[in-house]
Structure 1
Amino acid sequence: MLTVHSLTLDHVAGVDHAHVELPDTGVVVIHGPNESGKSTLLTAFRLLLDDVGVSSRAARVRALKSVTVDEPTTVSADLTVAGHRLTVLKSFNRGGGRCELTVRSPRPESLTGRRAEERFAELLAQGVDTGLTDALVIEQGKGLDILAAAGIRSLEQALGAEVTSDDGIPAGDGGRAGELIDRIGAEYARYRTPGGRPARELSAAVTAFEDAGAAHTAAEERRNRARNLTVELERLNAEKAAVLTEEPTAVEEATAAAQALAEGKAAMSELDRYSAAVTVARGARDLAAQRLAAREARVRDVREAEETVNALAGRVDELAGYAEEEKTAADSLGAALTAARVRSRVAAAWAAWLKAVGVREEIRTRIGELADRTTRAEEVARRIREIGETVKDNPVTDTVLENLRTADAELRQAVTVRDAVATTVVVNGPKEGTVTVDGTSRSLPDGAVTLHATGRRDIGVGDYTVSVIPARDVHEVGEDVDRAEEELSRLLAEAGVSDVAEAEDMAGRRRRATEEHREASLRLAQVTGGMSVTDLREALAREELRESESTGGIDSLLARVRDEDPDGTVTLPGVPDGDPETAAPQVTATVAGLETVAESSAKEVEDLREELDRVTRSGAGVRLEAARAELGRARENLRRLSETLEVEREQIGDTVLYKEAEDAGRDLTSAEEALALAKKRVGDVDTDTLAALADGAAARVRRLRERAGEIGHAVSRVTGALGQHAGAAEAVETTRAELERARRRLRQVERRAEAAALLYQEVRKELVAARQRYQAPLREAVERLARTLYGAPAGIDFGDDLGVTARTLDGTTLDTGRLSGGAREQLAVLTRLAVADLVGGGNGVPVIIDDALGFSDRGRAGRMNVVLDKLGKNHQIIVLTCDVNRFDSVPGASFVPMEQVLQGKGIH
């Protein structure tokens, strides 16, 4: 059992201080705007109940740290827990929190620190079902969560008392049955996790068996390694004996191979001497032959050079005649090229002049158009500015008018509500008489005055005072009228009007001016073509500047004509002869015609230039100069070759060279014959093969000796390793015994685990069956409340977890997933209220609803208020809401504004 008598918060999140006192039963509605601290009350209360140390650094504690001051987060409450009336205070502060517990009955207790925390947790564990506490709280944002009632210990005990002993839980013995089920579950947990995997003792037995098996396997592997080392040692000893036997024979073979190599090298040395003589003789023969060949080549070069000079001299004489004819043709082509170039330039200059005159005329036309558009645009822009000032001086926009209309309508509605619920008092008296209302004098202009009393009002008539006290305090509707009047007056003052009618008139004038402003803006856009007036002025100035620049350009083009044809000798169609200044006004040619003349003359220039280039680059003159240059080079080459030949003949004559070549040939023949006789005498000797055989024999001796050393080292290693495996056979027998003991222990634990699992599964089956039987009283309780909510019988279906799965209303059955948000929220509230009703006051805990019924219509919300009122007669129900209208029809409810809670005045 848990009852909250009061709750106090200090420096919790955004709440500096809050205090609320609550009745033991009944509905308490704590209301206030969003973010005023309502949900903080619930969060702080749940933190108080949870077993969280006051020095904890948990995130949920840090989240409640004050945002304004550096003070401990303190929560205290006056509670009744399991028949103990107590006050508990927890002040959360990192590294320095405190806890105080005062129990007033049935036996006084006063504890602090950790003892207080432990004692409070002990009382909660003894008398409060935490599953029920969590189930009967609807947190903000979770109003659509359907409660699964299975597993709520208090509910199962309450429902179990209503069934017979045939249902699996003895009537009136729910506590002992629960203890037995807990013991069965604990026994099952010794061997299996909730998912069925090995745990605790079973896992330890499995691990011990696996470890024993691994140890036995390791021992067998060690024994096998010892056996392998013994075999390896025997093999190494045999191999070492074989190596020692082969070494003497290998040494003899190496000595014989070295002797054969030495003899072969001596024979090859003799052959090398003969070969060297042949090489020297061949070199002398080749040198003499080269010197003789070089002399013969030099003589041929001089002869060929003389022939070349004679041929080139004849070619030069022939080309001299052709070159004279070519010069005459080139002079004629040059004169024609110059005349065509001048005609092309003069025609192009006149064409450019005509174009510039045409452009200047186009510019003058645009200047006229821009000047007219600028004048018209400036007039429209002036009108737009005048209209804009009119709109600016009128503050009554459509938004302002709509706000005024809304405020006026709200005032009329507030007056209507006030007149409907207030007590009407009519005071009659003489015309122009006076009475006193709440200390303020009021006149009677028509001999009467009508008053609307929403709360106590004192009316003074002469020496008498009449106090009017309505049966129901509805002063809030009077305050609504006052607020509506103040809001309307404020908006009228901001708009600068006396009433809504005047505002309607001013808004109409503003709309007409706005429309006229829009039309004028469209006209301006049409005149300017999307440009601004400033852009038009700048465009006009640019065109005028272009006109001035084009006039200067025309004059420069006439000067260009004069420069190209100073004598006026060029004749063009449509252009008079003479000075350009005089001829310009009389020009009848067109731009296209002159450009055609310029292009054809330019083409003629290109043709003449190509012909002239062909004549001058590849004609007779070019060939003549090339032939003369080539003749000069040939004569210089002949002189150089002749001088070189004479110098060489002076040093050594041709006859001497022929004799040296013959003598060298004879010496080479004699050396080759001597080498052939030596090879025949020595025979075929391969020193490379002899050297390889000698190296192989020596390497075999070296390898045999190295192998003997390696085998000796290997024998030492194997002998040492074999010593490390002493006792391997005994270890195999020892680990085999340990493995058998672990196997027997595992079988014993597995049998107990199977028995515990069987018992656990059978009990769980019975629990599931019992919970299914619990559905009947739970369904009856929920359907009883649903009849009040819907105004008609409703059917409720539950699942195995005792959560609502479907609702039947007016013959239509819908799964909860297909219900609207409002219907799901209503079922969530009904289920929790039914659970609270079934558990009863003796084991009950507060029902806390944080901002629910937001999805419910007004009719359903009103009927839910009736349900809350019925349950509130025997239960403590706490409602936290930002919309008090959802719960204003709970007849016996207490309403506490959040502002009073924050001021420490939140009492019932």
Structure 2
Amino acid sequence: MRLHRLALTNYRGIAHREIEFPDHGVVVVSGANEIGKTSMIEALDLLLESRDRSTKKEVKQVKPTHSDVGSEVGAEISCGPYRFVYRKRFHKKCETELTVLTPRREQLTGDEAHERVRAMLAETVDNDLWHAQRVLQATSTAAVDLSGCDALSRALDVAASNSRAAAALQGTEPLLIERIDAECGRYFTPTGRPTGEWAASITRLAAAEAAVAHCVAAVAEVDDRVRRHAELTERLAELSRQRAAAGPRLVAARAAADRIAELTNQAREAGLVAEAAAATGAASAAAHEARLRQLTEIQSRTATVAAAAAEAQQAAEAQAAAKAEAEAAAAAAERASQLLTDLQRRAESARRAVDHLAEREEADRLSARLAKIAAIERDREEICAELSAVVITDEQLRRIEDAASAADRIGGQLALTSAAVEFTAVADVELAAGDQRVALTAGQSWSITATGPTTVEVPGLLTARITPGATTLDIQAKHAAAQEELAAALEKAGVTDLAAARSADARRRELQGRRDQLDATVAGLCGEEPVDQLRARLAELRSDQPAEPDLVATDKDAARAELEAAEAASADAAAECEARRRAAAAADAALAESATRATVSQHKLDTQRAELDAAADRLGRERATVSDEGLTSAAEAGRRASEAAQRRVAELAEELAAAAPDAVAAEFAAAAAESKSLNDRHEDAARALREIDIELSVFGTEGRQGKLDAAQIEREHAAGEHARVGRRARAAQLLRSVMTRHRDTTRQRYVEPYRTELQRLGRPVFGPTFEVDIDSDLCIRSRTLDGVTVPYDSLSGGAKEQLGILARLAGAALVAKEDSVPVVVDDALGFTDPDRLARMGRVFDTVGAHGQVIVLTCSPDRYDGVTGAHRIDLNV
């Protein structure tokens, strides 16, 4: 399989991209992160595997988020005898187009085109090898598994065979294993569970055994019902006999309980009578006590009314005195308030005069500040004009310094790596080195440093050509590039050399410092207010000045003295006014308090008199109904009646206790419970017997024994089929295990060719002592260097990454030309040091000579060692 061209349109963040790949060699596709390098491989998978109408998550995720358009993927691919152009559009207006170019031209669309491509790939491409030959970012250090790649297996089988005949057998052995797997698949799933005919026979046998068990249980259920019918008949007869024997006990217990109930009713009635008598006696006693309390209350209220009258008279006199004092205090407060108002007017007039004088002084100060600011701004404009003429910037200076430093550093490296050749003359001689002529006398020496190809000639005698190594030439090229970068940076900054650049930068910094100092001075003069606001404030102050000439001539000290005198007099008047107001308020409060006290005293007197009159009226009405002597006699009679009723209650309680009511109640409850239990059990037995009669009548119509016989016959047939199919299934399983074991044994033969090829490619990278241990699944188990063996999982990330790439390149080198697929390396070798990067580059060149290797990277300098690489920069 070869990828010749890949085109993406509206794919994730890629608007349009089309890349053509050479048929052989290493292709390094470089670009920044998130530019869409990995997306190209993902797009190729979607093109080959997903239909254009697919709703899979993988297809939905590639739709652009910034526009409502369909994603398009197109590619030109060759595989086996076929070469075709294939394009799909996903999401919107879905379509699929296929043009087969060779071996004969075809044009298909839609699902027909999709199925045709799938058929061509299935015929000519090992899909497992295509996916295994990728080194992705997320799995760059994971061990590669090539065990399922049939193309590699065929190549290794041929490499491991000892004869042409052995190699010729390799086409039929996988077919035999596939037929064995297909036969085993009739009976078992890939995980070993029964399926198909074997699962059906197991299910049938289980169902037959379950049916037999069900029928046996049904027949046993009929037998159980017959047994229970006999038991219930005997039990019902026994319960009838027990019910007849329990009747006399219940009658005797009921009679004793009735006698206890009669005594209980009599005791309850006597208790009610005693309660009524006690209530009557208590009411008579309470009425007598209430009459005595009324007499005491009238005496107490008479004394209280007399005291309240004296208190009300004193409160009225105090109220009159407080009223006169409050009127005098209010008049004094009014006079003090008027005086305070006059003095406040005088102070306000003096304050306005002082404010106008202060505003005039502020206007003078503000005018001086604005004059200073104007002078500073003129100086700043001159500095800015001079600063605009300076071209160099911090970034340009850094660029010049970096370029000069790089040129010096690379020049030092060039001097260290360049060949120094010294010539010593044995006799007088003249040397020619380029345009330079050097005359040497006998014994004189002359040396030259060859930074590039240099020719030294002895005219008419010899010519010596000195060619530096590749490293020196590379450093010479870098030194020339550094010199060009320095010259370009100096020209852009408008200076001649580094010293001039630094001088210009120092002058620029000096001017910027002076400009910033002037800005700070202006900011200090302005404070938190801008210049325009200061000018507006000056205009406002000048407009607020009065036009009267006498104010301009007024002495500021005199105005302040007048203000202070007015404010002092106003303060004294305010204090006097406040004192008068407090005195008036205190007099008003005393008046209000005395008035409240007088009102409360009068109200209290009225209330006491009303309550005394009401108590006297109430006593008169009650005496008209019952006299004091009548209440006394009624209370005594009630007491005697209550005592007689209590004696009757005690007599009945003694009689009830002698009759043992608890024992009688217990006997009656036990007799009643026994009778109820026997009745319930008799009824339950009769109901159960009726239900069993009904069930037996229904069972007789179901033919359960016949169903049991039919189920047993079906079980015998299912058991026979189960045994027959089971023998075939176990035989297929046994054959598969034997063939698998033989296949694993055969695989051991082609591990060695794979290991040999992997070691051949790895020794230029790791050294001549490099060895690896490979298992039967072609996975690397360990690496050996200088006799030290380290398991694969214990290797560093860089070593794992390098071995993973070498394993894929070894597979690509071994497979037959018609079975080869591109090796894809996505942003790998990030853990590799520069020395091994150069060695890995030579390995890429070796494999790329007869295969296609596609490298996707954001750091193209990692692959500078791949000399024959075709480079594509996506950033351009």
Task: Pick the TM interval, shorter chain.
Answer: 0.5 to 0.7
Tell me how far apart the structure 2 counterparts of residues 143 and 763 of structure 1 sit (CA, whole Å).
Answer: 34
CA contact (8 A) 1:394 1:510 kept: no
One-letter code aligned to 1:160: D
The structural deviation recorded for 1:304 is: 7.1
Pairing 1:22-171 to 2, within 5 Å after superposition: 22-23=22-23, 26-27=24-25, 29=27, 31=29, 33-34=31-32, 42-50=41-49, 52-62=50-60, 73=72, 75=74, 77=76, 79-81=78-80, 84-87=81-84, 89=86, 91-92=88-89, 97-98=95-96, 100=98, 102=100, 104-105=102-103, 117-139=114-136, 143-163=140-160, 171=167
The structural deviation recorded for 1:127 is: 3.2
The structural deviation recorded for 1:511 is: 0.9
Tell me how far apart the structure 2 counterparts of residues 75 and 627 of structure 1 sit (CA, whole Å).
Answer: 112
Tell me how far apart the structure 1 counterparts of residues 856 and 695 of structure 2 sit (CA, whole Å).
Answer: 82
Per-residue Cα deviation, 1:591-639 (whole angstroms, up to 9, x for no partner): xxxxxxxxxxxxxx9xxx9xxx9xxx9xxxxx9x999999999998877
Range with bigger deviation, 733-742 or 246-255? 246-255
Aligned position for 2:633: 661
Q: Aligned pair 1:786/2:762, yes or no?
A: yes
Range with bigger deviation, 824-833 or 777-786? 824-833
The structural deviation recorded for 1:7 is: 3.6
State the identity as a percent: 25
Q: Which of 182, 191, 194 is the aligned partner of 2:178?
A: 182
Range with bigger deviation, 270-279 or 237-246? 270-279
The structural deviation recorded for 1:8 is: 6.0
CA contact (8 A) 1:202 1:750 kept: yes
Q: Aligned pair 1:874/2:845, yes or no?
A: no
One-letter code aligned to 1:77: E
Aligned position for 2:812: 836
One-letter code aligned to 2:78: L
3-state SS in 1 of match to 2:160: coil
Q: Which of 504, 507, 510 is the aligned partner of 2:505?
A: 507
The structural deviation recorded for 1:381 is: 10
3-state SS in 1 of match to 2:772: strand
One-letter code aligned to 2:633: A
State the Cα RMSD in Å: 7.4
CA contact (8 A) 2:29 2:854 kept: no
Tell me how far apart the structure 2 counterparts of residues 119 and 63 of structure 1 sit (CA, whole Å).
Answer: 26
CA contact (8 A) 1:251 1:701 kept: no
Tell me how far apart the structure 1 counterparts of residues 216 and 378 of structure 2 sit (CA, whole Å).
Answer: 108
The structural deviation recorded for 1:787 is: 3.6
From the superposition, tell whether residues 73 and 562 of structure 1 become closer, same or farther in structure 2 (CA, over 3 Å): closer
The structural deviation recorded for 1:841 is: 1.9
One-letter code aligned to 1:174: Q
Pairing 1:607-686 to 2, within 5 Å after superposition: 651=624, 654=627, 657-658=629-630, 661=633, 665=637
The structural deviation recorded for 1:747 is: 6.6
One-letter code aligned to 2:151: S
Q: Which runs of 5+ in 2 are unaligned?
A: 318-360, 412-476, 539-555, 578-582
From the superposition, tell whether residues 288 and 510 of structure 1 become closer, same or farther in structure 2 (CA, over 3 Å): closer
Q: Which of 774, 778, 785 is the aligned partner of 1:802?
A: 778
Tell me how far apart the structure 1 counterparts of residues 837 and 271 of structure 2 sit (CA, whole Å).
Answer: 132
Aligned position for 1:424: none
One-letter code aligned to 1:511: R
CA contact (8 A) 1:796 1:808 kept: yes
Pairing 1:429-828 to 2, within 5 Å after superposition: 492=492, 505-517=503-515, 555-561=566-572, 651=624, 654=627, 657-658=629-630, 661=633, 665=637, 714-725=688-699, 727-728=703-704, 760-761=736-737, 763-789=739-765, 794-808=770-784, 823-828=799-804
From the superposition, tell whether residues 247 and 535 of structure 1 become closer, same or farther in structure 2 (CA, over 3 Å): farther
Q: Which runs of 5+ in 1 are unaligned?
A: 325-367, 417-476, 541-546, 567-604, 618-622, 901-908
CA contact (8 A) 1:401 1:507 kept: no
Per-residue Cα deviation, 1:778-813 (whole angstroms, up to 9, x for no partner): 222122223444675533343553233554556776
Range with bigger deviation, 261-270 or 85-94? 261-270
The structural deviation recorded for 1:308 is: 9.0
3-state SS in 2 of match to 1:159: helix
The structural deviation recorded for 1:512 is: 1.2
Aligned position for 1:398: 393
3-state SS in 1 of match to 2:84: strand
Aligned position for 1:426: none
Tell me how far apart the structure 1 counterparts of residues 859 and 533 of structure 2 sit (CA, whole Å).
Answer: 60
From the superposition, tell whether residues 711 and 629 of structure 1 become closer, same or farther in structure 2 (CA, over 3 Å): same
CA contact (8 A) 1:851 1:881 kept: yes
Tell me how far apart the structure 1 counterparts of residues 570 and 728 of structure 2 sit (CA, whole Å).
Answer: 125
Tell me how far apart the structure 1 counterparts of residues 780 and 88 of structure 2 sit (CA, whole Å).
Answer: 40
CA contact (8 A) 2:370 2:535 kept: no
Tell me how far apart the structure 1 counterparts of residues 518 and 834 of structure 2 sit (CA, whole Å).
Answer: 53
Per-residue Cα deviation, 1:866-907 (whole angstroms, up to 9, x for no partner): 43443344334455566766667766665677799xxxxxxx
3-state SS in 2 of match to 1:87: strand
One-letter code aligned to 1:128: V
Range with bigger deviation, 830-839 or 91-100? 91-100
From the superposition, tell whether residues 780 and 722 of structure 1 become closer, same or farther in structure 2 (CA, over 3 Å): same
From the superposition, tell whether residues 653 and 875 of structure 1 become closer, same or farther in structure 2 (CA, over 3 Å): closer
3-state SS in 2 of match to 1:161: helix
The structural deviation recorded for 1:846 is: 3.5
One-letter code aligned to 1:829: I
Tell me how far apart the structure 1 counterparts of residues 255 and 506 of structure 2 sit (CA, whole Å).
Answer: 132
The structural deviation recorded for 1:147 is: 2.6
From the superposition, tell whether residues 72 and 699 of structure 1 become closer, same or farther in structure 2 (CA, over 3 Å): same
From the superposition, tell whether residues 553 and 235 of structure 1 become closer, same or farther in structure 2 (CA, over 3 Å): farther
One-letter code aligned to 2:693: T
Aligned position for 1:173: 169
CA contact (8 A) 2:62 2:71 kept: no
The structural deviation recorded for 1:398 is: 3.4
The structural deviation recorded for 1:155 is: 1.8
The structural deviation recorded for 1:27 is: 1.3
Tell me how far apart the structure 2 counterparts of residues 825 and 271 of structure 1 sit (CA, whole Å).
Answer: 106
Aligned position for 1:465: none
From the superposition, tell whether residues 382 and 761 of structure 1 become closer, same or farther in structure 2 (CA, over 3 Å): farther
CA contact (8 A) 1:160 1:174 kept: yes
One-letter code aligned to 2:128: G
Tell me how far apart the structure 2 counterparts of residues 165 and 562 of structure 1 sit (CA, whole Å).
Answer: 133
The structural deviation recorded for 1:158 is: 1.9
CA contact (8 A) 1:88 1:101 kept: yes
CA contact (8 A) 1:783 1:795 kept: yes
The structural deviation recorded for 1:722 is: 4.2
3-state SS in 1 of match to 2:752: helix
3-state SS in 2 of match to 1:776: helix
From the superposition, tell whether residues 88 and 238 of structure 1 become closer, same or farther in structure 2 (CA, over 3 Å): farther
The structural deviation recorded for 1:737 is: 6.3
